Structure 1
């Protein structure tokens, strides 16, 4: 996006938005310095908050915070028999995560001690090109004290992406010292589809050698994943 002329001010605290002569002026603090930027349009995308008040939740004794209802790994609240599934618990505000949480809660209700792995949830942003991620980021791996190597492959070296005219993007795979895949990030066409091979590898604790032995169809975008592993 930087190559397309988009500037980023990360970690900025917005103080206000004013309109003058058909323009929007945004004032913000960045690194302790007051700044401003002018634009034709301002888009606010500040996330979502759980609606927890106004329907008697307080009277149940269910514990909650500004982020959502507090639950354990089976979506149980602190009150026996009450579960909280989906965005309202603030754990992961994605539709497929809510579905998985519901299955996990149902399993617990039925006395089944297994269910979807909520630690490995793929996420995608349906921009052009798409972005998809699963597992640990480089920052998260570093914070956990995990030593890793980064393996990359690029869309521009893939025959199908060239034929599609979609040669922007890359696949990045994080591998620990035992060669297990611990994280994957894809920017490019059909990233939301390609990420699941790597999600399965993380879920089943596969090594890069094991995935490398899997033959990928040619020509296909999945070869970019294979190329990243072999690099």
Structure 2
């Protein structure tokens, strides 16, 4: 049983890999190892993979992963892991009862938590809140001369978030008036196809009771995606009743490189019309974003 860091250090590929946890890290490693020809099974306790992103994305992604030959078990709990000869046996339980899944390696990818290793939190007198070092909007701790960034402050544990927090901390140390904002943090998931998102999800908007509009444009109607032979997926944009973009999700080719346009829209409170009326080069993948933006006002160009 290994973590993602330990798995990366191994010199040989296992024949069978069981991934416990269907979140971002679990699915990225599952996709990588499946591409190398490894037999991969993913076990997730919740009803869906990637439970924190817009629910439409895992609904579309799951059948694609299964079609690639990957085994997906949702609503499934791991009961025990035992050694039998040279194999590991993972006993799981779902609504149909118990079953055994054999493996050569088990990847444990059930999330991250702040680590204070090497930091004398107590002797320094650093304030802890929710098992993380408490900081203000300038990344200052309760000790004015001590700043903290990254995973150990909790929140969104992503490398680009830590980088942004570091910039804020350094600029504040230099005497500038700055603060860290988490309104429009992009998420990128390097599965195949790629996934990226920013802002609110549709299920969050439904739960809030807010009036919203949703628009989707498939890459199967985008010329560049068709030319690349990567036409699976879509762009989905969510806007409030005034047309201001509050969230977006992309599943498809180069999703991680396409999301910044929508990150900027969420950060600056742009309307879908602002993107729709911005001329996009043709033929390009970003045209799918423009098309989805047109759809917010019910005016898609290349969808009936």
- Give the TM-score normalised by the residue count of structure 2: 0.68
1:38 to 86, 89, 101: 101
Single out whichever of 48-57 and 134-143 deviates more from structure 2.
Answer: 48-57
Post-superposition Cα deviations, 1:12-33, rounded to whole Å, max 9, x if no partner, equal: 54332123355433334558x8
Single out whichever of 151-160 and 75-84 deviates more from structure 2.
Answer: 75-84
Number of positions where the alignment pairs a residue of Structure 1 with one of Structure 2:
229
- Give the TM-score normalised by the residue count of structure 1: 0.88
**CA–CA distance in structure 2, aligned partners of residues 224 and 55 of structure 1:** 47
Alignment partner, residue 92 of structure 1 = 156
Correspondence 1:56 to 2:120:
yes
> Partner of 2:108: helix, strand, or coil?
coil
Alignment partner, residue 111 of structure 1 = 175
**CA–CA distance in structure 1, aligned partners of residues 197 and 226 of structure 2:** 23
**RMSD between aligned residues:** 2.3
| Alignment gaps of 5+ in structure 1 | none
Alignment of 1:29-178 (within 5 A): 35-40=98-103, 41-53=105-117, 55-65=119-129, 67-115=131-179, 117-178=181-242
With over 3 angstroms needed to count, the CA separation of the structure-2 counterparts of 1:34 and 1:68, relative to structure 1, is farther
With over 3 angstroms needed to count, the CA separation of the structure-2 counterparts of 1:120 and 1:81, relative to structure 1, is same
Alignment partner, residue 291 of structure 2 = 227
Q: Compute the displacement of 1:62 (Å).
A: 0.8
With over 3 angstroms needed to count, the CA separation of the structure-2 counterparts of 1:57 and 1:116, relative to structure 1, is closer
| Alignment gaps of 5+ in structure 2 | 1-61, 296-304
**CA–CA distance in structure 1, aligned partners of residues 129 and 99 of structure 2:** 33
**CA–CA distance in structure 2, aligned partners of residues 146 and 163 of structure 1:** 39
CA contact (8 A) 1:100 1:118 kept: no
Alignment partner, residue 210 of structure 1 = 274
Correspondence 1:7 to 2:78:
no
Post-superposition Cα deviations, 1:53-85, rounded to whole Å, max 9, x if no partner, equal: 554211111122564212222212222222111
Alignment partner, residue 27 of structure 1 = 91
CA contact (8 A) 2:237 2:245 kept: yes
CA contact (8 A) 2:187 2:197 kept: yes
Q: Compute the displacement of 1:158 (Å).
A: 0.8
Post-superposition Cα deviations, 1:183-224, rounded to whole Å, max 9, x if no partner, equal: 111111100011011111111111111211101111000111
With over 3 angstroms needed to count, the CA separation of the structure-2 counterparts of 1:114 and 1:142, relative to structure 1, is farther
**CA–CA distance in structure 2, aligned partners of residues 34 and 64 of structure 1:** 42
